[in-house]
């Protein structure tokens, strides 16, 4: 699976995904922060699921209709539990669902919503 890891999501998560055999790009390796819209655009153009802690991406997709190739939002998820939660998401949801959905994790609750809805 292809991912773009926002700098706030962490290097450990990116390294774990790479070790699991995923194709991972990291925003931190692309220079200064380009802003949320540009980051989401990169992910969509490259067919990568964007993983972030930032909640602003939901507004870009829901309210402004910005295209995406999947979004996993981990707001308020401590670094120590991010890998376990992403592992669970990948085990519980097939790739074809993740690439057309927004996944939001709040505490231990994982919510997956297709966007745009069918």
Six-digit token string for 103: 């996944």
Confidence bin at 92 (pLDDT 50/70/90): very high
What is the DSSP code (8-state) at residue 30? G
**How far is Cα 6 from Cα 47, in angstroms, rounded to an integer?**
15
Q: What is the CATH number of the domain that holds 54?
A: 3.40.50
Six-digit token string for 39: 């980051």
Q: Is the pLDDT of residue 85 over 70?
A: yes
**How far is Cα 79 from Cα 94, in angstroms, rounded to an integer?**
24
The model's pLDDT over 9-44, given as tens digits with 9 standing for 90+, comes to 989 999 999 999 999 999 999 888 888 999 999 999
Range of the domain at 40: 2-114
Structural domains of the chain, count: 1
């Amino acid at each position: 699976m292809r991912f773009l890891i926002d700098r706030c999501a962490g290097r450990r998560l990116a390294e774990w995904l790479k070790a699991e055999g995923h194709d991972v790009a990291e925003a931190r390796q692309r220079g200064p922060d380009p802003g949320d819209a540009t980051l989401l655009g990169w992910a969509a153009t490259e067919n990568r699921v964007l993983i972030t802690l930032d909640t602003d991406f939901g507004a870009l997709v829901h309210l402004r209709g910005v295209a995406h190739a999947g979004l996993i939002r981990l707001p308020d998820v401590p670094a120590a539990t991010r890998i376990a939660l992403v592992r669970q998401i990948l085990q519980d949801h097939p790739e074809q669902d993740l690439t057309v959905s927004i996944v939001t994790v709040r505490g231990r609750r994982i919510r997956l919503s297709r966007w745009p809805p069918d």
